[in-house]
């Protein structure tokens, strides 16, 4: 099913890759509930919904697309849901807000069944693809540095060097050094082994503690969306068109951009196309729809999947491993929460993978301003705005403008012009 020999990999390598990606992204099952519970939702409801959505999307990705890419509720989209949608659009509740997520998921699903999203991937110019991949790399490396305190906020320069005597910073630097040495020695599964060694040190230095290990998953409020027609009616009744459009636009480009970045890193892109693109793109739209029914914000392909790719993951067996680990994690919420609560354990993987993805900068045509500057905007604006979709938007808007003034407008696919206009509307007039 997974064609291990054809892809020149082994079961052991794929399982290690799955473990690596899982422990790099597992923070979401703690962070997502903590954010969405700000709306008044029970923590246990969101915890279970987060895992259900991750399992549905990641299993589909593994079984039907055969890619080592994980899917789970996206960061940024959950913040938008909790603080910009609930209570801000006519005082709507989280129940009604999930109707908007569900409808966006349905539209997303219909688009994924067509060739639209695959056409989108093929229409994106190569230099933008390289910029997207490099920008995501810079973004996740920045997240790794910032979460551990190696980089901190600065009142004058925005960011600055953190306290190098801090236990968290020292642990992160230790984990980074150990993992880099293992990778330099070409040790298989270096990222995962580095996390294990860092976890052991964290435990013995008192930075990692376990208060409670086991807890049964639950859904205190049952299904959030039980009747699709009611959800569609809520969108019309509360005029949530802009909310649906925002969810749809951001999810399409967050996921498409991330998927391109991971696929480019893994070498899955063949020419201008991505094999089995429809199957892969269906995973997040299906997960978003199912996730909304149980109580979580839209899902996206995870940039942390690149850590599993770097560990050797090449097939859907990596994704199936991740999904199974999410199922197991649903019974060990407190334990997993403890591990993911120590940023220094997972940050080294993010930083190293970020450095690997930055290699795509070398492929950009820096000699042509109309090609180079849009890619530069993508790369620099992703970390500076903390948004993958904003970086992509600015690249999409600037590229057609430069091409038109240089008389090269025919080089751009019509769909790029359409989305340049939609992105301009979103940035100028809609919440983001």
**The pair of three-digit structure tokens given for residue 219, joined into one six-digit string:** 């859904």
Give strand pairing partners of 71: 301
What confidence score (pLDDT) does residue 89 get? 55
Please report the DSSP string for 85-131 in residue order: ITTTSSS--HHHHHHHHHHHHHHHHHHHHTTHHHHHHHHS-HHHHHH
Backbone angles phi, psi at 383, to 5 degrees: -70, -35
Quick one: DSSP state of residue 270? B
Residue 69 is given by DSSP the state -
CA atoms within 13 A on the CB side of 313: 36
pTM: 0.73
Q: What pLDDT does residue 124 have?
A: 78
Token pair for 325: 């680990």
Tokens of 34: 């903590």
pLDDT digits (tens, 9 = 90+) for 385-396: 877 778 888 998
pLDDT tens-digit readout, 16-30: 999 989 988 888 887
Rounded CA separation 144/32 (Å): 18
Q: What is the 3-state secondary structure (H, E, C) of 190-246?
A: HHHHHHHHHHHHHHHCCCCCCCCCCCCCCCCCCCCCCCHHHHHHHHHHCCCHHHHHH
Query: Which are the contacts of 393, defined by CB distance < 8 A and separation ≥ 6?
Result: 253, 423, 426, 427
Counting residues of the chain whose pLDDT is more than 70, the rounded percentage is 96
pLDDT at residue 373, as a whole number:
95
């Amino acid at each position: 099913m997974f064609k291990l020999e054809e892809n020149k990999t082994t079961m052991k390598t794929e399982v290690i890759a799955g473990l690596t990606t899982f422990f790099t992204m597992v923070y979401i099952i703690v962070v997502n509930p903590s954010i969405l519970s700000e709306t008044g939702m029970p923590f246990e409801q969101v915890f279970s919904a987060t895992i259900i959505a991750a399992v549905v999307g990641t299993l589909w990705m593994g079984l039907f697309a055969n890619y080592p890419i994980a899917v789970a509720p996206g960061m940024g989209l959950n913040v938008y849901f909790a603080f910009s949608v609930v209570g801000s659009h006519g005082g709507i509740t989280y129940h009604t807000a999930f109707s908007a997520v569900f409808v966006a998921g349905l539209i997303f699903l219909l688009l994924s069944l067509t060739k639209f999203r695959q056409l989108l991937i093929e229409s994106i110019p190569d230099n933008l693809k390289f910029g997207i991949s490099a920008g995501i790399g810079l973004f996740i490396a920045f997240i790794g540095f910032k979460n551990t305190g190696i980089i901190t906020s600065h009142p004058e320069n925005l960011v600055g060097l953190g306290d190098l005597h801090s236990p968290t910073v020292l642990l992160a630097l230790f984990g980074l050094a150990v993992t880099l040495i293992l990778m330099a020695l070409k040790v298989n599964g270096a990222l995962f082994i580095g996390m294990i060694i860092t976890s052991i040190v964290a435990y013995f230095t008192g930075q990692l503690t376990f208060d409670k290990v086991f807890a049964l998953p639950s859904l205190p409020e049952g299904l959030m969306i039980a009747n699709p027609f009611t959800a569609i009616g809520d969108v019309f009744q509360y005029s949530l068109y802009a909310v649906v459009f925002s969810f749809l636009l951001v999810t399409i480009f967050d996921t498409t951009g991330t998927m391109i970045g991971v696929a480019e890193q893994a070498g899955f892109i063949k020419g201008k196309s991505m094999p089995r693109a429809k199957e892969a793109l269906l995973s997040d739209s299906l997960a978003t729809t199912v996730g909304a029914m149980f109580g979580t914000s839209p899902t996206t392909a995870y940039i942390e999947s690149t850590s599993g790719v770097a560990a050797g993951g090449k097939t859907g067996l990596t994704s199936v491993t991740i999904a199974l680990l999410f199922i197991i994690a649903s019974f060990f919420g407190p334990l997993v929460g403890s591990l993911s609560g120590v940023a220094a354990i997972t940050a080294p993987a993010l930083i190293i993978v970020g450095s690997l993805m930055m290699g795509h900068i070398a492929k950009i045509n820096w000699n042509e301003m109309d090609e180079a500057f849009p890619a530069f905007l993508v790369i620099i604006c992703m970390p500076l705005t903390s948004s993958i979709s904003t970086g992509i938007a600015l690249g999409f808007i600037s590229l057609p403008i430069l091409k038109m003034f240089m008389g090269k407008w025919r080089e751009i696919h019509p769909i790029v012009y359409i989305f340049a206009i939609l992105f301009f509307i979103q940035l100028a007039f809609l919440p983001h």
